[in-house]
Chain A
Amino acid sequence: MSSEAATADATTEVPEGHDDHGHDEHGHNDHAHPSYLAHHFDTPQQQFDAAKVGMWAFLVQELLFFSGIFVAYGIFRSWYPEMFSAAAHQLDRPIGAGNTIVLLVSSLTAALAVREAQLGRKAGTSRYLLLTILCALIFLGVKSYEYNHKFQAGLLPGHFYHPHLHHLVEGSPALPENAHIFYSIYFMATGIHAIHILVGIGVLTWIWRRNERGDFSKEYYAGVDIAALYWHLVDLVWIYLFPLLYLID
């Protein structure tokens, strides 16, 4: 380092310990910078921490996004408790419960994928990622079956609400006129959740391809970790949606 530069950098003198990569870090390729380490990070640990903090901040954002729906749910349920329980009666509990189990299993496989990645077992990581994606697809399939039934029964949001009595569950309580509000909330909540599942499938597929390409190792598995975090959140939201929508009468 030249003495001229030093005068300009008195607050910023280079410490002895940094000498081994003090200059070289401007290039992108010395021993302290493994290929997976982006140039603007100093250490893999820093890169991993940044990714983690960033993802957690993003997940908080996701929670607040869903919170609007939950608040609307809380307000309308407190206003119209009978309507909510009558309308919820039309949702298919066994199917909803089955779907909940599917998602719980998918969270387990996502966690196992992270475990395999941490151990550097590429094949295992891929296997569990694919299993997670499979669960996600099953969930969506079941969901669309449920949606289909709601469409046929005319149990739809707002202006589109026109219940067909012969499609309703046997012996169910009469549906009040404003039950469309329940189905508005049902479709908005599960619809937004389904969009998150779709995004999750995309992310997991991308991570699976990167894993197949050999991007990840024992030292660097941030991508798998981050994707699994996101997936757990999607799962968590459903854990709340299921009892609130299906199990209230």
Chain B
Amino acid sequence: MATVATPGLGGKTEAHDPHESYLAEKGLKSWLFTLDHKRIGIMYLIGVLAAFLLGGILALLVRLELFTAGRTIMTAEQYNKVFSMHGIVMVFLFIIPAVPGALGNIFLPIQLGTKDVAFPRLNLTSFYVWVLGAVFGLYTMIHGGVDTGWTFYTPYSSKFTNTSVIPMLTAAFILGFSSILTGVNFIATVHTMRAPGMSWKRLPLFIWALYATSIIQVLATPVLAITLFLLIFERAFGLGIFDPSMGGDPVLFQHFFWFYSHPAVYIMIVPGMGVISEIICTFSRRAPFGYFFIAMSSLGLALLGFLVWGHHMFVAGMSEYSTMVFSALTFLVGIPSGVKVFNWVTTLYKGSISLKSPMLYALGFIFLFTIGGLTGLFLAMLAVDVHLHDTYFVVAHFHYVMVGGTVIAFVGGLHYWWPKFTGKMYNEGMARAAFALVFIGFNVTFLSQFVLGSRGMPRRYYDYLPEFQSLHQVSTIGSWILGLGFLVMLVMFIQSLQQGKDAPRNPWGSAALEWQTPTPIPFHNFVDQPVITRGPYDYHLATEAELDEGYAPGERPADADD
């Protein structure tokens, strides 16, 4: 019937049937050379999930080694490399591209009501740049890896370690460019590709979050690039600018590094917050409380993110006055973060809440991110930071924000949009079981680390005093529960692909635009160019047909879904 609807297409051999799924074309080539943002997003998804698996295995190894004091399964040198590689893989290969590269790529154009991102070729380029960076990273790992931690602090990284620092810096440098290109692409797309009627005030909150993230990517990542570039030359040719024995300054490296890496934390968390905003609205069936404030708090975080990098160096020898300023500015970050949390919670109030698995992740996110955010305030306080700096408290805080925040949001978004981009439903019972395991396992792993840290267990240490052993063991057991949770999730998703029921157009009854297009998504995202007449959360303006959870008539040929 699709062809009946478009008689004008006669004679155009290149034309796509407007109803045809973007997954219809088969063959490896149709994927590797695709310019379709959805397919590029899927390739990103596969890539970042592979990185997550690798980083996760490394994490389990770190925890296993710490099960007993002294040697458990590896030497101290191996341990230094394993935790460094865990950090590098998770930060540069997984968490930075995870939400924007995978979910953002698939859904940004659809949520804007357009056919593609502004620069499809650049989009594919940025994916292959990511692949190139990943290849460099893996090459380095095979050749012994690095033991500098993911922060590459000088002068250890530039003068003392004999591990493969230069190839690893090159990998991070390349990965940075992938991130920049995605940011440039998204900024141009949001500015110029919105569908007719998609005003800035109607922009989905996920788009606002991606837009804020893109700004950070464009403004912060080049600073990392130049920093790594300088460090490569410092190590290769002894430039001396980070070397105190030659008149240079190692703290300068820390300033440069954190000028990127603090904003980078927002590159990691802000898109996750966007995902959570979408999920909360859909599963509360109402518009967000304070749309404008949630949107602007993303931009607020992006801005503040550039002003607080010094809080990583309170004990590195900065002047008292600058530590005071950085501490005060860091407290300000609590404002946009708090705005988001309070608005999400208020959105739930009197909402028609459905506790499907994506919503469980969203609620879990609010809980875990709140702990992660509030413990950040401990570290922002100068006197307290002297005690907690470089302890497991920092590790736990960081993981509460990055895993409890971003990973939970990423996984929640995966559950939320999975039916739309794969066209398959998944086993809800298994999804909930996986959530329970992940949630419990995560808290067991990292709550214990708050206690460890506050009692003085330094981070990155291979060995520890006997009194820390029981808490380390609790944490390691937690990591197994967490790993099991992800394993169940993996089985659940694979099962869904193989034998899942065909997904309806709008399984969650959402008013948002991406749920109004057929499932699986048509090649050009929509059958016809959409014209936006209401906001994505205007449940009071949405028609019954739009919110219908079942199959739209005629959408699935012959209704052969079971």
Chain A residues near B (Cβ < 8 Å): 1-2, 4-5, 7-15, 18, 22-29, 38-42, 46, 49-51, 53-54, 57-58, 60-62, 64-69, 71-72, 75-76, 80, 157-160, 178, 180-181, 184-185, 188, 192
In the bound complex, residues from chain B placing their C-beta under 8 Å from that of A23 are: 6, 8-9, 18, 528
CB distance from B148 to the nearest CB of A (A): 20
Are B529 and A14 in contact (CB-based, < 8 A)?
Answer: yes
Partner of B528 from A14, A75, A157, A192 at Cβ < 8 Å: A14
- In the complex, are the beta carbons of B526 and A12 less than 8 A apart? yes
Chain A nearest CB: distance from B322 CB in Å?
14
> Out of A12, A53, A184, which one reaches B191, CB within 8 Å?
A53
- Given A50-B192, A54-B184, A57-B187, A12-B113 contact (CB < 8 Å): yes
Query: Within 8 Å of chain A (Cβ to Cβ): is B227?
Result: yes
Interface size, chain B (Cβ < 8 Å): 77
Q: Which of A8, A26, A28, A181 contacts B18 (CB 8 A)?
A: A26
- Most B CB contacts (10 A, CB to CB) among A11, A26, A53 go to A11
Q: Is the interface of B mostly helix, strand, loop or mixed?
A: loop
- Interface presence of B239 (CB below 8 A): yes
B116 within 8 A of A: yes
* Beta-carbon contact of B183 and A64 below 8 Å: no
In the complex the two chains form, is A8's CB within 8 Å of B238's CB? no
Interface residues of B in 221-277 (CB under 8 A from A): 221-223, 225-227, 229-230, 233-234, 237-241, 246-249, 252, 256
The proximity string for B residues 528-545 relative to A, scoring 1 for CB distances below 8 Å and 0 otherwise, is: 111111100000001101
Do residues B530 and A40 form an inter-chain contact, with CB atoms below 8 A?
A: no
- In the complex, A188→B227 CA distance in Å? 12
* Number of A-B residue pairs having CB atoms within 8 Å of each other in the complex: 207
Closest residue of A by beta carbon distance from B242: A72
B503 to chain A, nearest CB (A): 14
Within 8 A of A (CB), among B177-192: 180, 183-185, 187-189, 191-192
Measured CB to CB, the closest approach of chain A to B510, in angstroms, equals 11
Q: Are B246 and A181 in contact (CB under 8 A)?
A: yes
| Contact (A8, B552) CB under 8 Å given A26-B6, A54-B118, A57-B183 | yes
Question: Could you jot down 19 A-B contacts, CB within 8 Å?
Answer: A4-B1, A4-B553, A8-B505, A9-B516, A18-B528, A24-B8, A26-B16, A26-B18, A50-B189, A61-B184, A64-B220, A64-B223, A68-B227, A76-B241, A158-B233, A158-B238, A158-B240, A184-B233, A184-B240
**Please, which residues of chain B bring their CB within 8 A of the CB of A51?**
118, 188
A80: B residues at CB distance < 8 A: 247
Quote the shortest CB–CB distance from B263 to chain A (angstroms): 11
Q: Is the CB–CB distance between B9 and A5 below 8 Å?
A: no
Give, as a whole number of angstroms, the nearest-CB distance from A33 to chain B.
12
Tell me if A13 and B531 are in contact (CB < 8 A): yes
Tell whether B513 is near chain A: CB-to-CB under 8 Å. Answer: yes
In the complex, what distance in Å separates the CA atom of A71 from the CA atom of B260?
14
Give the Cβ gap from A150 to chain B, nearest Cβ, in Å: 14
**B241 CB contacts on chain A under 8 angstroms:** 72, 76, 181, 184-185
Q: Is the CB of B27 closer than 8 A to any CB of chain A? A: no
Interface string of B69-100 (1 = CB under 8 A from A): 00000000000000000000000000000000
**A28 and B15 form a contact (CB under 8 A):** yes
Given contacts A29-B12, A62-B222, 18 further A-B contacts (CB under 8 A): A2-B1, A22-B528, A23-B9, A40-B114, A40-B116, A50-B188, A53-B118, A54-B184, A60-B219, A61-B184, A64-B223, A65-B222, A72-B252, A158-B239, A160-B237, A181-B241, A181-B246, A184-B239
Once the chains bind, are A27 and B12 in contact (CB under 8 Å)? yes
Min CB–CB distance A133 → chain B (angstroms)? 24
Q: Which 8 residue pairs spanning A and B have beta carbons closest together?
A: A68-B226, A12-B530, A159-B238, A65-B222, A4-B554, A54-B188, A8-B552, A178-B247
- Complex Cα gap A188–B12 (Å): 54
Given A23-B9, A181-B241, residue A53 in contact with residue B188 (CB < 8 A)? yes
With the chains together, A75 CA to B250 CA distance in Å?
Answer: 13
* B524 contacts chain A at the CB level, 8 A cutoff: yes
A10–B543 CB distance below 8 A: yes
Task: Verify A14–B531 contact, CB threshold 8 A.
Answer: yes
Q: A65 touches which one: B1, B223, B518 (CB < 8 A)?
A: B223
User: Could you tell me if B533 and A57 are in contact, using CB atoms closer than 8 angstroms?
Assistant: no
Residues of the A chain whose Cβ atoms lie less than 8 Å from the Cβ of B233: 157-158, 184, 188
Given contacts A18-B529, A158-B246, A181-B246, contact A54 B223 (CB under 8 A): no
Kindly list chain A residues whose C-beta atoms are within 8 Å of the C-beta of B530. 9, 11-12
Q: Report the minimal beta-carbon distance from A178 to chain B, rounded to whole angstroms.
A: 4
A157 in contact with B239 given A7-B552, A8-B552, A180-B246 (CB within 8 Å): yes
Distance A42 CA – B5 CA, assembled complex (angstroms)? 21
Residue of B nearest to A185 (CB): B241
User: Which of chain B's residues has its CB closest to A65's CB?
Assistant: B222
Using A15-B196, A180-B246 as known contacts, say yes or no to A8 and B223 having CB atoms under 8 A apart. Answer: no
Cβ-defined contact, A181 with B546, below 8 A: no
